[in-house]
A and B are shown apart, each in its own frame.
Chain A
Amino acid sequence: MEGSQIMFAIFGIAIIFFSIVTVTSRKILRAAVSLFFVLLSTAGIYFMLNFQFLAAVQLTLYAGGIVVLIIFSILLTSQISHKFEVVELKKKIFSAIASIAGAMLVITTILSFTFKADTAVATEVDMKVIGRTLLNTGENGFILPFEVISVLLVAAMIAAIVVARKSHDEINDINKQ
């Protein structure tokens, strides 16, 4: 076995194991920490595919930002020592059947199709190429989705603040006390 195969096996097993822990663990903080490990292993796979910038974004935004946000909201809304009640057996069995059947369907479809891997030399993805492509208005440029995404991010930030802040009545109540 080559080194890259061993690395891929490690990342793959980590992803499968920790994603199962994420959806089955009865302690919410444990689920969040295993989600963190899933995202880390995904960043490892991006590194192996030579997408260094994407892997760095995955590490900072997903593993750094979203997981911290989720852990914060867990601390705000749940008791850490609290354990979820066991899922009903019936619901468990039917969900497992649905997801395993779906996975089998997709996997058989994938295996019945032969992908011809292109052996052409891969383009280097350095920062210069990324910057030029993102802000290019011509062919192969991504200026429109880039701008749309930036507007979306601003809208999401404002929406998050507006939704999460206290209403006027609550603020008035606090001021009266």
Chain B
Amino acid sequence: MISGVPLEYLLILATIMFFTGIYGFLTRRNLITILMSLELILNSVNINFVAFNRYLFPGQLEGHFFSLFVIAVAASEAAVAIAIIINIYRRFSTINVEDVSEMKY
């Protein structure tokens, strides 16, 4: 644990980061910036896992490994999302979500 820093500080930091991501998710209209907000959300959850692991259960490593797996899932999610975004750009010449309303192949 970090000396002099209680667990609450880390949780509040992660909360602020999470809801900043939510705000971006609601206001952004560009697919890539929506993806960036999503990365913020995933990252804040990781901080929570790691902080709980270190402060409440220092003898175990579950939080550590869970955030490793979350990072792996986030990486594959970003790869697939960016492939889809590039495909959408090729088809519609824009990645603004309001102009991409047609799902027909």
Contacts and interface: CB of A to CB of B under 8 A. Distances in A.
Interface of A: 1-2, 4-5, 8, 12, 15-16, 19-20, 22-24, 28, 31-32, 35, 38-39, 42, 45-46, 48-51, 53-54, 57-58, 61-62, 65-66, 69-70, 72-74, 76-78, 84, 87, 91-92, 94-96, 98-100, 102-103, 106-107, 110-111, 115-118, 120-123, 125, 129, 133-134, 140, 142, 145, 149, 152-153, 155-157, 159-161, 163-164, 166
Contacts of A110: 8, 11-12, 15
Contacts of A134: 65
A133 B64 CA distance: 11
Interface string B63-93: 0110111011111111110111111011000
Contact of A73 (B7, B24, B86): B86
Contacts, number: 232
Given A95-B27, A129-B61, A107 B40 contact: no
- Contact residues of B: prevailing secondary structure: helix
A87 B40 contact: no
B24 A66 contact: no
Interface residues of B, number: 72
What 9 pairs between A and B have smallest CB-CB spacing?
Answer: A23-B24, A156-B76, A164-B83, A122-B58, A95-B26, A160-B83, A163-B83, A103-B19, A99-B19
